[in-house]
Chains A and B, each alone.
Chain A
Amino acid sequence: MNHAVEIRGLHKSFGSNKVLKGIDLSVEPGQVVCVIGPSGSGKSTLLRCVNLLEQPTSGKVFVGGVELTDEDVDIDAARRGVGMVFQQFNLFGHLTVLRNITIAQERVLKRRRPECERIARHNLERVGLTEKADSYPAQLSGGQQQRVAIARALAMDPSLMLFDEPTSALDPELVGDVLTVMRKLAEDGMTMLVVTHEMAFAREVADRVVFMDDGMVVEDGPPSQVIANPKHQRTRSFLSRVLNPTHVD
């Protein structure tokens, strides 16, 4: 059986700035993997390399057994199977919520309009926003926008979902709604790769937690190990800073 995601020897540099320094990582179908680490450690860049929003400098990325880094692969076709949720939501501001969810189905998957709308409404229901179908993104709260963004990605029937700090731009009281949707998605068996600072979510929902620092994977294992009982000093000091932000050494 193929890995849902397999990353081999991934390097990414921006000019002389080496952001990823040889990442090897795989995600099995149905797994939820949370990537944690200090800012600037390369977590988001890693995630953006998985659907090639960033072109890796070297290394290979496979999704569902297909090598996306292969020159001959149809990247647009490959991206259809990989949903992505952004920190800033990135809903299409000129379109209604419903149209946000139908436009790619219609233009990319060539589904008929009534079918697109049926699927859109079904996914809006999954994120609990059926009544917002005709609103514009600017009329929604950040948490609602992020849930619409999740519904938009789900409407493409992805086999893998990437989350790039999905709750970092939200007011604290709105974080819970988004995490609830993500938790439900995990229970439904979706394969998820999540960059996050939500340690409670990682501890409770993730099958595996990956700790990254300085462009490398430092520690990779079940949350009971990486979060509760980290082996590496760098992981320990990061977690103590995140879990006790007011603590002074």
Chain B
Amino acid sequence: MSEPVAALPQRGGLSPRKKQRISRGIQYAILIVIVVVVALLADWPAIINSFLNVEVAGETLPTLFTVALRNTVIYTVTAYVVGFVVGMVLALMRLSSVAPYRWIAAVYIEIFRGLPALVVLLMIASLPLAFPWLQIPGGVYGQAALGLGAVSSAYLAETFRGGIQAVPKGQMEAARSLGMPYMRAMVSIVIPQALRIVIPPLTNQLVFLFKDSSLVLFLGVTAAQVELAKFGNDVASTFANPTPLIVTGATYLLLTIPLGYLSRRMEARQ
């Protein structure tokens, strides 16, 4: 014989629900104390002067947008185009019936996924040292597109491969049964459906690239080639004030947050 005693109100102690309520009250109290202490102790004029200095922020305009953001977008978009095209070719090679194509693509992907983007960029930039006859067209622009594109192509190749494999086999069979050659069926039927599946990772890769375009500063850029991160750093040194870094940071977020939002929207729609 056992009585259900557990649920009975316990004399002397607090019930779990009351304990929970008290615990939550304490957590709020701690938070409020910390906020108040920080607000009182912080040297607000100094902080505002260093990080939110309106005059210094004004000095970044209009170059922030006309040169720095513009270059960041150019580096990002060109590298993305290279990564997209090369990545798609690599994905098709990975799925090829010719074994050496599969091996070459696999080795390429392993190498460029494993190397830091910066190392790849610097290697591309120093290629002319090894091959004096080699001139990468477009200077820094070409080097950035190639270097960053090489890295993202490795990631995009795996994304595309996953997308293509996620399209049911019957789609290819139906297209072939209508007389379409393999490549035509791939381009008209399989790849469009694969791309829909991989829209979210494609957007993520664009965001990564947008941020990684800051690595171009290591290639040694002129004032006309400067992108957001280096631009912010340069202006900050000139005025010995870090506000421009906050401004450029905000400029990155201005694009990455809507992109992330867009990606989630498209993901939710599927």
Contact = CB atoms under 8 A, between A and B. Distances in A.
Genuine A/B complex: yes
Contacts of A94: 192-193, 196
A45 interface: no
Contacts of B184: 107-108
Contacts of A51: 177
B180 to A, nearest CB: 6
Q: Is the interface of B mostly helix, strand, loop or mixed?
A: helix
Interface string A88-108: 101111100000000110011
B174 interface: yes
B177 A107 contact: no
Interface of B: 168, 170-171, 173-181, 184, 188-189, 192-193, 196
The interface centre, meaning the residue of A103, A107, A109 with most chain B CB atoms within 10 A of its CB, is A107
Contacts of A103: 188-189
Contacts, number: 60
Contact of B180 (A84, A104, A149): A104
B188 A86 contact: no
Nearest to A48: B173
A249 interface: no
B179 A93 contact: no
B177 A76 contact: no
Given A82-B177, A91-B174, A92-B189, 6 more contacts: A53-B173, A76-B176, A76-B180, A90-B174, A93-B171, A149-B174
Contacts of B193: 92-94
A206 interface: no
Given A94-B192, A94-B196, A107-B188, A79 B170 contact: no
A90 B189 CA distance: 11
Contact of B177 (A53, A77, A91): A53
Given A107-B184, A107-B188, A92 B176 contact: no
Given A93-B193, A94-B192, A107 B171 contact: no
B174 A86 contact: yes
A107 B180 CA distance: 8
Contact of A79 (B171, B179, B188): B179
B170 A153 contact: no
B198 to A, nearest CB: 13
A79 B181 CA distance: 10
A84 B177 contact: yes
A108 B170 contact: no
Contacts of B176: 53, 76, 79
A209 interface: no
